[in-house]
Structure 1
Amino acid sequence: MARGMGRWRVLANVAFAAGVLALAGFGVFQVANRRWQVQPTFHVRAQFPNVVGVEPGHRVRFQGIDAGVVAKVVPPGRPGDPVELVLRIDESLRRLVREDATARIVVEGMIGARVVDLKPGEPDAPAVADGALIRSEPAADLADLMRRAGESLREFDATATEARAGLEHLAALAADVRDGKGSLGKLIRDDDVYDNLVALTRRGEKAVEKLDDDLMAVKQTWPISRYFESRAYYERDKVLYRPGSHRESRTLTAEELFEPGRAILTPVGRTRLDEVGRWSKASGRSRSEIVIAAFTEPGPEPELDEALTQEQADAVRKYLIDRHGVDSAGWFRKRKIAAVGFGAEPPRFEDETAQAPSRRVDIILFTPQA
């Protein structure tokens, strides 16, 4: 009986091992299939100035179809030469891929995965040969796109501000005209002329309000909103206005944080920010937000002042997040960390830092009380 039981156990162990091997083989087959290694394929090559984010195994699409994978990334032979991608494509699609096909690197979906997308070419062109070099389109640099969009929107903001100031002046002028003040007021006494001037002012005010609404909608539209979310603010003038929050702050001078006239942290500056990082984590609460506001003295060009302070605020934000994780607010939650460069212009809502140094960075912790 014991010997019989031994044989059955051996057979059961053999069957179990065979099942495990079969399952492992099936898994290997599936992995190989995902990498297009077990079905008939052909290869094409495409060259790009930059293939950032693309590695062997990344997917190749053909008119939205899963068509293959990136088989190899060939580095340039000399500095400045293009990088070559070798693409392994399903053999059944060869008849659809023409000699004038075009490859481009695109971002797929919201998660930012990069894939190589193939445009088939003209229907009457010959089919592509195995190993042929096809045309390519340079990949769009999303970071550069966001930078340019941000610059354009900042100019848009400045234009709207100037228009609003002009309309306020026009409204004051209309009031003077109504009262008969000034040379123009003495000449224009007709109520119809005055009413037309007032109506023009009101239409202008409504146009500016509509412009502001459209600008905010653009700011909150993906992917442009990603630029503003990366700095965690939409309205620069109101970022320090938190009437329903408790405020705690730390102020550091630019001299102790950065190299002179630059946005590069010094060793002393990193030490100071380490202290701020420990303070913010000790004082922080799950619903709190941090605003990093940078200021400087007036220079010959206000645009350069604002650019310098924005870079300095970004540098502080990046260090506090990378080094101290101050953006963490618990499991799967992020704390908003805004970085805003005000240049030499004081913010509209500044009360506690009125006597602070001109060249400084304020780290402010806002905790909602309601």
Structure 2
Amino acid sequence: MTNRKIEFMVGLFVLAGILSVLYLAIQIGGARFFGRDSYTLQARFSSASGVNAGSRIEIAGVRVGTVKKVELNDKFFAIATLELPKELSLDDDTIASVKTAGLIGDRFINLSPGGSGFPLEPGDTIVDTESALDIESLISRFALGGIDEPSE
């Protein structure tokens, strides 16, 4: 009888371990099985370099959403599709900026809410955007003498 009890306890322990690993995998992977109340907006950038699907969206340093996809439109602008929670209402003068976390960190989109009083509807496009500072081009311009010096 004690052998059966030990096998039962080991079975429960293994089952709890498998469930724990599955839970952690889902949490880390960001998978969702039930739909979250969210809506999408688009942001038009001249360059969205470093921003990919899954990149975070922040307001005042707080993560509020994720980037669903980034694609090129027919006028050669990068269009980022942003997924935001329903309770977050943004005005049409919101500014979307591509920022870098740290000196060489990953890129994310920072939203600076406006105050116009005209809310963006799901599917609308944020046109007030700032692309990331391209350090490589600045260094190459400086190294190759592309920066104009003031005339005397």
TM class by smaller structure: 0.7 to 0.9
TM-score using structure 1 length? 0.35
Name the structure where strand makes up a greater proportion of residues.
2
CA distance in 2, matches of 1:127, 1:28: 37
Distance 1:154 1:57, change over 3 A: same
1:109 maps onto 2:102 in alignment:
yes
Give the superposed CA RMSD: 3.0
Contact 1:42 1:91 (C-alpha < 8 Å) held by counterparts? yes
Contact 1:98 1:128 (C-alpha < 8 Å) held by counterparts? yes
Number of residues of Structure 1 aligned to a counterpart in Structure 2: 148
1:134 to 106, 112, 126: 126
CA distance in 1, matches of 2:121, 2:147: 47
1:27 maps onto 2:27 in alignment:
no
1:85 counterpart residue number: 80
1:7 counterpart residue number: 4
Q: Which amino acid aligns with 2:28?
A: V
Contact 1:106 1:116 (C-alpha < 8 Å) held by counterparts? yes
Q: Which amino acid aligns with 1:48?
A: F
Q: Which amino acid aligns with 2:108?
A: V
CA distance in 2, matches of 1:32, 1:131: 26
Larger RCO (CA within 8 A; separation ≥ 6)? 2
CA distance in 1, matches of 2:102, 2:140: 21
2:111 counterpart residue number: 118
Contact 1:107 1:115 (C-alpha < 8 Å) held by counterparts? yes
Shift of 1:60: 1.0
Distance 1:155 1:101, change over 3 A: closer
Distance 1:6 1:38, change over 3 A: farther
1:53 maps onto 2:18 in alignment:
no
Shift of 1:66: 1.2
Shift of 1:114: 0.9
Q: Equivalent residue of 1:86, what SS?
A: strand
Q: Deviations over 1:258-280 (max 9, x none)?
A: xxxxxxxxxxxxxxxxxxxxxxx
CA distance in 2, matches of 1:13, 1:41: 42
Q: Which amino acid aligns with 1:44?
A: L
Provide structure 1 residue ranges, at least 5 long, that are not aligned to the other structure: 157-370
The percentage of aligned residue pairs carrying the same residue is: 22
Q: Which amino acid aligns with 1:133?
A: T
Shift of 1:119: 1.4
Q: Equivalent residue of 2:23, what SS?
A: helix
CA distance in 1, matches of 2:108, 2:42: 15
Shift of 1:85: 0.9
Higher CA-based Rg: 1
